[in-house]
A and B are shown apart, each in its own frame.
Chain A
Amino acid sequence: MVLQVEDLHTSFFTKMGEVKAVDGISFHVRERETFGIVGESGCGKSVTGLSIMRLLPEPSGQIVSGKIILEGKNLVELSKKHMRAYRGKVVSMILQDPMTSLNPVYTIGDQVGEAVRMHQDLPENMVEAEVIDVLRLLRIPAPEVRLKEYPFQLSGGMKQRVVGAIAMSCRPRLLIADEPTTALDATIQAQYIALFEDIQEKTNVAIIFITHDFGVVARICDRVGVMYAGKIIETAPTRDIFKNPKHPYTIALIKSVPQLDKKDDRLFSIEGQPPSMMNLPKGCRFCPRCHVALDICKEQEPPEVKISENRSVSCWRVK
């Protein structure tokens, strides 16, 4: 087990009150596994990622309770200095927009080298070899030439790979990818995802893939957690999520993915809006939008039910 998150609560304390962005989620990621976190905007996907990195915007964003156990160490309890040594070395993250994630005034070699120098005690003449090595891992052609180039000389897909190279420079155990493919077009997206699989094979890195795109999920994830309003409402292997979704929200989500082989007049959509995170309903969070809600759904939050070794669902209808 590389990462185990137990009952994580992350809140933002604003002038209007406490916003429970992540409200008690638990999941784990094994070595060489890709865990997808899917959900609509504002459901707490990115906050989950930032909580693991301990990079919440301070002082408003705070981990209220819970455990984040990475390689046997609880990250929540680490000192700031300790955590900094972990970042980039044991746990890395790729941010949403690769186009602006590179510093325009440094060469590629400088930027990848910076990450190498910060965490590895290598003699200066070894750094460049290491940088070329990691650029190769990301399948960047002619790394010796790229080293001396500046970000503006690279294409978008190439920049994306350089960002990936920085994240992978110290061969971390866990990589969090926060919608890394959103800014790319479809062909580059496919290439990039294939690249992830390749890297995983070579380095055994565990990946958390944050996305709202079910197509990407199907392509790369081994298991998926579906998030809704700060909670993971269903966890299952990718196959099962598509074949046999249990939670009404998951069912509805998968129905709303456009499918080319079906000729429907209108695309299915879920009515209503997600609840305000400051004023959550008493019972199930999805209840106001749920077509199959029971009376109990309005009154009580459903517990997480483990229905098989790899699956769990939080819904009163699932027993």
Chain B
Amino acid sequence: MLSTLPTAKTKTKKQYRGVTRVTRVIQKLAFWVPLIIMIAMIILAIFANFIAPHDPNLPKITDRYTPPVFMEGGKSEYLLGTDQIGRDILSRLIYGARVSLSVSLLVILITAAIGTMLGIAAGYSGGRADAIIMRVVDMALSFPGLLLAMLLAVAIGPGFTTVVLALSILGWAGYARMIRGEALRISQSDFVAQARVNGASGWRIMTRHIFPNIINSLIVLMTLQVGMMILAEAGLSYLGLGITVPTPSWGAMVSDGRANLDNAWWISLFPGVCIGLVVLSGNFLGDWIRDKLDPRLRQL
């Protein structure tokens, strides 16, 4: 009787361990892989001029339509092949990371700053200010972004500024709506009442008491937006409303290759893969940070 006990115990322990080990490895991978991809992309973007093997904008007509190195006819100097006018795809991808990441970073900073300020102001002050800000948010959220981008492209011409403006003008609304909800909840908490009792001004309560308590949600939203913004930039550039030739941008590269999908698929595929990787990494990282920052989940 006694001898059976320990074996039963070890068996359950092993099973338990086995289950957690697999989930733990997956959990770790879901953090490290996207993190490494993100860091790699950022390094590529920053040091593009040292890393890229070729000038991304220099055409070499004799080498055009060179397939990637692992295919028949590929050349070792063009690892991922060349496009219709013989520009190196890999170099263009590396330089493209610069455009894509800087657009998304800039847009996220602008929209998060505006949205946070308006959201806290609306949530804390309530009443008429809240009503007015939230109606503007409703309007911004209901306005078709693509239409605005097209209007801007017509008015000031496509380019970096157009993309940033088009994404920023409407993008803040999402932040404002979420932050407003958080600010409203925190405004009603006892420590804000206590701060008021202690003689803190409205400005002080908003900056010192409400803002630090919403940073968590803000960071999560900002991380999740990295993917969204890269996708949006790619979409605009694909439509010709964003970054224009010859500056390499992933979206524009996908667009360039679409006429040759049947004979030179690599022109479109590789930038597409890059977009997918970064978007997925952004989402995974955002989820991970959200889980880590949520105290209810942390306790588990």
Residues of A at under 8 Å CB distance from B? 53, 55, 59, 84-89, 92-93, 95-97, 100-106, 114-115, 118-119, 163, 166-167
Contacts and interface: CB of A to CB of B under 8 A. Distances in A.
B208 interface: yes
Contact of A93 (B127, B197, B204, B208): B197
A105 B216 CA distance: 11
A100 B212 contact: no
24 contacts: A55-B196, A59-B127, A84-B199, A87-B196, A87-B197, A87-B198, A88-B198, A93-B197, A95-B193, A96-B190, A101-B190, A101-B194, A102-B194, A103-B212, A104-B191, A104-B213, A106-B212, A114-B195, A115-B198, A118-B198, A118-B199, A163-B194, A166-B194, A166-B198
A102 B194 CA distance: 8
B197 A55 contact: yes
Interface string B194-221: 1111111100100011001100000000
Contacts of A102: 191, 194
A97 B200 CA distance: 19
Contact of B190 (A53, A55, A97): A97
Contact of A92 (B195, B197, B209): B197
Contacts of A105: 212-213
Contact of A103 (B127, B201, B213): B213
Contacts of B201: 84
- The residue in B190, B195, B198 that gathers the most chain A C-beta atoms within 10 A of its C-beta is B198
Contacts of B197: 53, 55, 87-88, 92-93, 95, 167
Nearest to A97: B190
A114 B194 CA distance: 12
Interface of B is mostly: helix
A166 B191 CA distance: 11
Given A88-B199, A100-B189, A95 B212 contact: no
Contacts of B189: 100
A107 B189 CA distance: 18
Contacts of A85: 199
B200 A118 contact: yes
A122 B108 CA distance: 40
Contact of B198 (A92, A97, A100, A106): A92
A207 B113 CA distance: 44
A96 B194 CA distance: 10
A73 to B, nearest CB: 15
Contacts of A89: 199
A53 B195 CA distance: 12
Nearest to B216: A105
Contacts of B191: 100-104
Nearest to B191: A103
Contact of A87 (B199, B204, B213): B199
A100 B199 CA distance: 18
Interface string B15-42: 0000000000000000000000000000
Given A102-B191, A102-B194, A166-B198, 15 more contacts: A55-B196, A84-B200, A88-B199, A97-B190, A101-B193, A101-B194, A103-B191, A103-B195, A103-B209, A106-B212, A114-B195, A114-B200, A114-B208, A115-B198, A167-B198
Contacts of B209: 103
A166 B189 CA distance: 17
A239 B209 CA distance: 44
A114 to B, nearest CB: 7
Contacts of A59: 127
Nearest to B196: A55
Contacts of A84: 199-201
A150 to B, nearest CB: 12
A100 B213 CA distance: 13
Contacts of A163: 194
A14 B100 CA distance: 54
Given A84-B199, A114-B198, A95 B213 contact: no
A104 B295 CA distance: 12
Nearest to B204: A118
- The residue in B191, B193, B204, B209 that gathers the most chain A C-beta atoms within 10 A of its C-beta is B191
Contacts of B200: 84, 88, 114, 118
A106 B200 CA distance: 15
Contacts of A100: 189-191
Contacts of A92: 197-198
A152 to B, nearest CB: 9
A78 to B, nearest CB: 12
A115 B208 CA distance: 12
A112 to B, nearest CB: 10
A115 B191 CA distance: 13
A103 B212 CA distance: 10
Contacts of A86: 199
Contacts of B198: 87-88, 92, 114-115, 118, 166-167
Contacts of A103: 191, 195, 209, 212-213
Nearest to A102: B191
- The residue in A89, A97, A115 that gathers the most chain B C-beta atoms within 10 A of its C-beta is A115
